Structure 1
């Protein structure tokens, strides 16, 4: 009896532990940041959402779009000239915090890229703006054109470095930053720069300096790049890109706490990414169940009639799945030009397109009935038609037989008269 009680107690404890583990795995993370999102880079599926369409200040994350424009307009070996507007920028700047740079001095585009993305130099961003766009105003137009091309519908940029103390019209959304982050990751030069922990850079007349990446998570648990940001209005912001077991996820945390040690936004990101990799999709429609029933007309006897209507239930041979979040998906079922007489349970007759923002997956739909169903549904008619055909054929045979007998009798009479 004691042994049985011990087994029951063990089973109860095991169940409680297991249940707690499962609950902890599915519970969304509690983040300090006022907005956050995670997206699967490869499939574009949204995993986690928190105020993802709120207009917010991106601070130095802005420099990702500045970096893209640099990569698209200057070769890595091109030299860029240090300008007066770059010199006028506040800390953090290469000129003020690393080494003074004279107006007119030059830097290679590769050094400029690293100074922008690793050290996050405010002056380096203006250096790019002046060399690529001619001035800050023209470069802002290029930034907004680039954002529109990428599909960033909730963004507007004014400055190349993201400083927002003098304006309220430099903004974006967490969702838009996932689009920008994906574009940055796909650009070889931007991706390679983001992945560096340190870099040696210099101006033509200055000493060589080592700059360190401000992304504290780089190289930790699969973090392969990203961009930090901070202003008083924006709070602590972070975009991070991860690769674990061949799967890529981008996370965005905005307006997190500005703590003295600058750790909270990185802790937020770690929670977000760990949860996102562990998150499981919900089954919206189970495979081999009715997705939609459509009606189609057909002729009971092909080419002749009469005409009837058949209801055709459609199914997917795989589960329709999605992550649960705040973004309402769009589902479209397409099935046109179906010939009921050609129905086969193994031949697709339509699709279910599941769309959630930039993510879209198409599922093939198959009929749950075949043409044999039509025959079963109309067996009485076919039986009657079959009987009628048999009767008609019998009458025809009898008629032919009767005609032949008459001819034979007529022939015998003629022969008798001749005799």
Structure 2
């Protein structure tokens, strides 16, 4: 009788130990997932000793000039850093990322010439919009307008593409909003192609990271986005063509950062939006995008959005 009771207690104790061990292991796994997420080459929750984690906990977002920021690893869409990433912001010229990718997808022939009508320029000059340098009635290839959209942030290039593709900027904006909905940009609404301020023209840096991740899958967009300068062929107005310089690279002293490199980006600014930047960087064959908005300053001040990008990439690359 005593032997039976002892055996019973023994098996009960063994069962309890087993339950405790399983619970302990489960807790470690859950903790590993919540801290580090999915680890390269391993199942979620597996924590090899030799693994270097993609964690940006060492970057204090309080030290950023930008009020909103998100850092994403491009290949797996892992969010590495966030600061008010779902808060509504005004995108300024980061709008042109959507303008460019929609135009690329809607134009079967990027070498097709487009005439820029005189009517568009009056409103752009009145709004003090940034311009690439084309003039009324100039005949320009679509691909040259795309570089004009992304590098010098040319408003006339945006309107020229929009009117050619959809008949009017208003109709083109409807396509932009349809694309935003298709991509799951739930907190985004566009009212124009240029990013000129409108209270109903808004987004989030989270939504912009979704957009940029999508656009960079397009080879033409990526080539334009990462160009530091570009020269157009001669036109009926500019016999020597026009040379564009990227607004990012003009203000970036050195794109090389701790074994990595900033590959390209789009800047933006309005009084209401502050200084904004969407950029692409690479280290060890991996690509990362950083979207920031709401930095104080203007075109004449220090470029705080670019400073933030350098700070984030520098600190992150040092720990990867």
Q: Report the TM-score range of the alignment, normalised by the length of the smaller protein.
A: 0.7 to 0.9
1:92-107 matches, cutoff 5 A = 92-94=130-132, 98-99=133-134, 101-103=135-137, 105-107=138-140
| Partner Cα separation in structure 1 for residue 255 and residue 166 of structure 2 | 34
Q: Which residue of 2 aligns with 1:384?
A: none
Q: Per the alignment, do residues 25 and 228 of structure 1 end up closer, same or farther by CA in structure 2, a change over 3 Å counting?
A: same
Larger radius of gyration: 1
Kindly report structure 1 stretches of 4+ aligned residues shifted beyond 4 Å: none
Q: Which residue of 2 aligns with 1:269?
A: 309
Q: Which residue of 2 aligns with 1:224?
A: 263
Cα distance per residue 1:131-182 (max 9 Å; x no partner): 1111011111000001111111110001000101xx2000000100101111
1:151-166 matches, cutoff 5 A = 151-164=184-197
1:6-405 matches, cutoff 5 A = 26-29=58-61, 30-74=63-107, 75-88=109-122, 89-90=124-125, 91-94=129-132, 98-99=133-134, 101-103=135-137, 105-164=138-197, 167-201=198-232, 204-207=235-238, 208-216=241-249, 217=252, 219-221=255-257, 222-259=261-298, 260-278=300-318
Deviation at 1:84, TM superposition (A): 3.8
SS of structure 2 residue aligned to 1:156? coil
Contact 1:226/1:239 (<8 A) preserved:
yes
Contact 2:95/2:194 (<8 A) preserved:
yes
1:397-416 matches, cutoff 5 A = none
Q: TM-score, normalised by structure 2?
A: 0.74
5+ unaligned residues in a row in structure 2: which ranges? 1-55
5+ unaligned residues in a row in structure 1: which ranges? 1-23, 281-419
Q: Per the alignment, do residues 219 and 122 of structure 1 end up closer, same or farther by CA in structure 2, a change over 3 Å counting?
A: same
Contact 1:25/1:275 (<8 A) preserved:
no
SS of structure 2 residue aligned to 1:48? strand
Q: Which residue of 1 aligns with 2:53?
A: none
Deviation at 1:219, TM superposition (A): 4.0
Query: How big is the alpha-carbon RMSD for the aligned residues of Structure 1 and Structure 2?
Result: 2.0
Q: TM-score, normalised by structure 1?
A: 0.57
Deviation at 1:86, TM superposition (A): 3.0
Deviation at 1:268, TM superposition (A): 0.8
* Structure with the higher strand share, 1 or 2: 1
| Partner Cα separation in structure 2 for residue 201 and residue 83 of structure 1 | 19
| Partner Cα separation in structure 1 for residue 104 and residue 144 of structure 2 | 12
Corresponding residue pairs, total: 250
SS of structure 2 residue aligned to 1:26? coil
Contact 2:91/2:202 (<8 A) preserved:
yes
- Larger RCO, structure (CA 8 Å, separation 6 or more): 2
Contact 2:149/2:158 (<8 A) preserved:
yes
